[in-house]
Amino acid sequence: MKTETMAARWGLAVVLALAETGADAARAKPGTLEEMWKIVQQQQKEIEELKAKAGENEALKQEVKSLKAANQDQTHAQFMDAGEATPKPKADAKPAKSEAERKTDILASEVEKLKTQLFIPETREYKSEYGLGPAASQVYRVNRGLSIGGYGESMYTSYTGNKGKLKNGIDLTRFVMYLGYKFNDWVILNNEIEWEHASTGEGSEEKGEVSVEFSTLDFLLNKHANIRAGLLLTPMGFINEMHEPTTFHGNHRPDVERYIIPSTWREMGAGLFGQITPGLQYRMYAMNGLRASSFSSGNIREGSQGGSLAVAENFAFAGRLDYQPGFVPGLSMGASTFLGDAGQGDRFLGRKADVFTQLYEGHLQWRYKGLELRALGAWGHIGNAGLLSAAKGETIGSSNFGWYAEAAYDVMPLLFKDSTHYLAPFFRFERYDTIASAPKGFDDDKSWDRWIYQGGLTYKPIQNIALKADYRYIDSTGGKQPHEFNLGIGFIY
């Protein structure tokens, strides 16, 4: 009976194969004997493949039967040697697993492990993607589903000069969680949630707060043009998009990227990002504008609305280009801009004002072996600064500027040749003025015309952790500023 069944199966397989190839032949009739011979050879090959597959299935079935039979014979022999009849299993006793069942359990366990790795990979590659920091980029590298990451930093500050009424302090500056979800190969959700100063306090930002730093949906359509929408990080400078503590030297982020470029700066909007040519990338967004009623002498950062019940009477454009020339390893350079009215329909001394705000920035970075060089410059202009200053009772600069240059070198290979640790002394010089030009009739606040000398060490036992020590000497045209010694730790995960 088995032989007949097998023969029937073989016959059916051959008929199907011949029918398929016959249909192909009908679609393209051979023109020569050589073409006909090729068709016959193809048919023979397909028949052999069918036979091989059927043989494999039959062999697998026989192997499973043999394993079950061998297991039963072994169990029976063990009890016969002991002079006992093979016992009947109790009603509540679990039957012994056969070798085949054991192998099946092992296979199922491996499958579950693979499923788990789709969500929680055993190893992670920390690499920046689409302008974001290494930990923020994890969601782009999971196969599917949930991605969890984040960073944190804490700092001790001792004021060593011009202390005044300031007190030394220690703080969990921020703890951040990235929650991402990869729906499929081209739709990705990415979020950053930040807790500052270890507490939400009582409504005071100085005590602490919880904020959504960004929340974006990416639609990866083509390497040249992809869509991003949601609460977006404004694509300016080094720090605003990539502010994880292992990616910059010093405990404090550079002042130029805090007071001139108001990091961390985010607004609601949508736009495009991608690659123009190899090595040349862009990001450009339409975003809601800043709100000038919150500008101050020291900065425009409070004018960022952060996606929280933002007024959207006026919108803005933000764009960025970055270039990495292949002929100079480790070199990258770029520029960015933000343009938009910050009036938002508010009244200043009884009338609306066009507070067109411009910010331009250029940056350059070179990493070669252990050497790290970084430089950035920014310039901004605020329209109707005179009316704004009169309404607010403080001088709002018509223009502002800032720049800094930084150098570092990883000396660990010089001290311990085979070490994988990182130890880099660094030096940074900053120069900025938030009131580079004051509106006519208003006094310049010279305390915001500043320069900073900063030096320190960054030590990384592993790439995820940075121990930092630095000293900042701060001075201004308006008088001496407090000097600081800072000691801190940062991590990403």
Question: In order along the chain (493 residues), what is the average pLDDT of each group of 10 residues?
Answer: 43 42 42 61 65 57 59 53 49 61 70 56 75 94 94 98 94 97 97 93 68 97 97 98 97 98 97 97 98 96 95 97 96 98 96 96 97 98 96 96 98 95 98 97 96 98 97 95 97 97
Residue 231 has which token pair?
């609460």
User: What is the predicted pLDDT for the residue at 61?
Assistant: 57
Residues 6+ apart with CB under 8 A from 457: 423, 424, 425, 426, 468, 469, 470
Q: What is the dihedral of CA 356, 354, 294, 230, to 10 degrees?
A: -60
User: What is the predicted pLDDT for the residue at 293?
Assistant: 96
In this structure, how many other beta carbons lie within 10 angstroms of the beta carbon of residue 244? Answer: 26
The CA distance from 443 to 469, in Å, is 38
Residues 6+ apart with CB under 8 A from 134: 126, 127, 128, 244, 246, 247, 492
User: What is the predicted pLDDT for the residue at 5?
Assistant: 43
User: What is the predicted pLDDT for the residue at 418?
Assistant: 92
User: What is the predicted pLDDT for the residue at 11?
Assistant: 43
Residue 453 has which token pair?
């000398």
The CA distance from 284 to 279, in Å, is 17
**Domain spans of the chain, in order of start:** 219-492
User: What is the predicted pLDDT for the residue at 167?
Assistant: 96
Secondary structure string (H, E, C) spanning the chain: CHHHHHHHHHHHHHHHHHHHHHHHHHHCCCCCHHHHHHHHHHHHHHHHHHHHHHHHHHHHHHHHHHHHHHHHHHHHHHHHHCCCCCCCCCCCCCCCCCHHHHHHHHHHHHHHHHHHHHHCCCCCCCCCCCCCCCCCCHHHHCCCEEEEEEEEEEEEEEEEECCCCCCCEEEEEEEEEEEEEECCCCEEEEEEEEEECCCCCCCCCCCCEEEEEEEEEEEEEECCEEEEEEEEECCCCCCCCCCCHHHCCCCCCCCHHHHHCCCCCEEEEEEEEEEEECCEEEEEEEEECCCHHHCCCCCCHHHCCCCCCCCCCCEEEEEEEEECCCCCCCEEEEEEEEEEECCCCCEECCEECCCEEEEEEEEEEEEECCEEEEEEEEEEEECCHHHHHHHHCCCCCCEEEEEEEEEEECCHHHHCCCCCCEEEEEEEEEEEEEEEECCCCCCCCHHHEEEEEEEEEEEECCCCEEEEEEEEEEEECCCCCCEEEEEEEEEEC
User: What is the predicted pLDDT for the residue at 122?
Assistant: 57
Backbone angles phi, psi at 45, to 5 degrees: -65, -45
Fold of 219-492: Porin (2.40.160)
User: What is the predicted pLDDT for the residue at 6?
Assistant: 45
User: What is the predicted pLDDT for the residue at 127?
Assistant: 86
The CA distance from 289 to 344, in Å, is 8
